[in-house]
C-alpha cells in the first residue's frame, strides 16, 4: 500500500507543481513539434524530469522509459524488454498545448515486455484508474467492471491520425457504417476509461507506443473488457508500435470489430 500511495502522491505533486501551473499559461517558444504533427511542451519535459526523479526514489535502480527521453535517445527503448517504468508525462499534449482537456499522466511498470501495474491520472478531475495484473481494475480505489453502452449501434472512436490514406478510406467504407462514430479525445488517458465506463464500446488505434498504451491496455483487460492486437495476440510494450490495436468494452465487441477488420483486409 505504501508503494502505491507514493506513486499516487508523486502524480498529484507533479500535476500541481508543474502541469497545472503551465496549463493555459504557455508562452511563445513553450511548444515545439517533434515531427509528424507530434507536439511537445516545456511542461512535458518538466513533468518527465520530476516524475523520473520521484520514481527513482520509490524504486532505486529500476530503469525508466520516458516519452521525451526516448525521443532524444532511441536506445532508451531497449529497456522495454526488461523490468522498467514507462512514463507519459502529459498524455494528450495536443489538447494541453491548446489549453483544452482532456490530458493526464500515464505510468506503468513492465517486466519482460508486458505491463503488470498501471496508473491513469486525469489531471483536472483527479480521477485515478489503477490496475495490477490478476487483481482487477479500479477507479479512485473502487473496483470496476467494464460495461458497454448498450446502444443498438455500438459507439466507436476510431483514430485515423496515423493510418495511411488507403487504410483510412477502407476503414471509413467497410468499418464505420456498422458503428456510431464519436470523436477521439487525442488522449489515451481518457479513451481507455471511456471504454471501460460505458461511454464508448470500441476503439481502433494505429500507433501504439508503450507510454500511450501500457497502462490503458492493462486496466481495460483487468476490468473485463478486451484490448489486443487485431490478430488477437497480446499487446507487448516492446512490439512494433505500428501493429495496430483494438480496445473494446467486452470480448464480444472486440471479436466483432476484429472480424470486420479481417474481412476488410481479406
Binding-site positions for Mg(2+) read 67, 88, 90-91, 212
**Which residue ranges make up the annotated binding site?**
67, 88, 90-91, 212
Q: At what angle do helices 188-196 and 210-222 cross, to 10 degrees?
A: 10
Distance CA 56, CA 63 (A): 8
Distance CA 190, CA 105 (A): 10
Residue 258 makes CB contacts below 8 A (sequence gap 6+) with 230, 231, 232, 246
Distance CA 131, CA 136 (A): 6
Distance CA 263, CA 103 (A): 35
CB 243 within 8 A of CB 162: no
CB 95 within 8 A of CB 102: yes
CB 46 within 8 A of CB 112: no
- Rounded to a whole number of angstroms, the distance between the first and last alpha carbons of the chain is 49
All cell numbers assigned to 49: 524530469
Q: Tell the burial category of 67 from Cβ atoms under 10 Å away from its Cβ (0-12, 13-18, 19+).
A: buried
Amino acid at each position: 500500500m505504501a508503494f502505491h500511495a507514493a506513486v499516487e502522491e508523486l502524480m498529484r505533486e507533479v500535476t500541481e507543481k508543474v502541469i497545472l501551473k503551465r496549463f493555459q499559461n504557455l508562452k511563445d517558444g513553450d511548444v515545439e513539434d517533434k515531427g509528424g504533427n507530434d507536439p511537445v511542451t516545456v511542461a512535458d519535459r518538466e513533468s518527465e524530469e520530476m516524475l523520473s526523479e520521484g520514481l527513482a526514489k520509490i524504486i532505486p535502480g529500476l530503469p525508466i522509459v520516458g516519452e521525451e527521453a526516448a525521443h532524444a535517445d532511441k536506445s532508451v527503448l531497449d529497456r522495454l524488454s526488461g523490468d522498467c517504468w514507462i512514463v507519459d508525462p502529459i498524455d494528450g499534449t495536443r489538447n494541453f498545448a491548446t489549453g483544452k482537456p482532456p490530458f493526464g499522466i500515464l505510468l506503468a511498470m513492465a517486466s519482460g515486455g508486458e505491463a503488470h501495474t498501471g496508473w491513469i491520472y486525469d489531471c483536472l478531475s483527479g480521477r485515478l484508474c489503477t490496475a495490477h495484473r490478476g487483481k482487477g481494475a479500479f477507479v479512485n480505489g473502487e473496483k470496476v467492471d467494464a460495461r458497454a453502452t448498450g446502444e443498438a449501434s455500438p459507439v466507436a472512436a476510431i483514430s485515423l491520425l496515423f493510418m495511411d490514406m488507403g487504410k483510412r478510406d477502407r476503414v471509413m467504407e467497410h468499418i464505420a457504417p456498422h458503428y456510431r462514430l464519436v470523436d477521439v479525445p487525442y488522449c489515451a488517458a481518457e479513451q481507455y476509461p471511456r471504454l471501460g465506463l460505458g461511454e464508448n464500446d470500441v476503439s481502433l488505434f494505429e500507433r501504439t507506443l508503450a507510454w500511450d498504451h501500457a497502462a490503458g491496455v492493462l486496466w481495460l483487460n483487468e476490468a473485463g473488457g478486451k484490448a489486443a492486437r487485431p490478430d488477437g495476440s497480446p499487446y507487448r510494450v516492446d512490439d512494433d508500435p505500428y501493429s495496430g490495436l483494438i480496445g473494446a468494452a467486452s470480448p464480444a465487441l472486440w471479436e466483432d470489430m476484429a472480424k470486420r477488420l479481417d474481412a476488410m483486409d481479406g
